[in-house]
């Protein structure tokens, strides 16, 4: 009985913390998402939906191919 009460208390505390900090969590998610988009734009990464096929009747995507340009190594340092 104590173990069950402890489990319920942990779940309730987790829900309360998520509710209390939801705005901060959402802001952090959007900030990280914006950062990833900015880095991808700087690197020239482009997502392409070529080759995406849909299952008949299901309507979900089966394959997504992301085209990433090759990374060129940095030139040697000048001494």
Highest-confidence range of 2-6, 23-27, 50-54, by mean pLDDT?
A: 2-6
Per-chain mean pLDDT for the chain = 74
Instruction: Say if CB 44 and CB 69 are below 8 A apart.
Output: yes
Has residue 61 got a pLDDT over 80? no
The predicted pLDDT at position 72 comes to 65
| pLDDT tens column, 13-39 | 999 988 888 888 888 888 888 888 887
Phi, psi angles (nearest 5°) of residue 46: -125, 130
Mean pLDDT of 53-71: 56
51 pLDDT more than 60: no
Above 90 in pLDDT, residue 62?
no
């Amino acid at each position: 009985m104590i173990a069950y009460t402890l489990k319920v208390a942990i779940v309730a505390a987790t829900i309360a913390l998520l509710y209390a900090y939801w705005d901060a969590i959402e802001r952090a998610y959007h900030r990280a998402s914006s950062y990833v988009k900015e880095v991808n734009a700087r690197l020239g990464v482009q997502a392409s939906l070529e080759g995406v096929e849909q299952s008949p009747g299901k309507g979900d995507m089966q394959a997504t191919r992301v085209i990433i340009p090759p990374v060129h190594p940095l030139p040697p340092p000048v001494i």
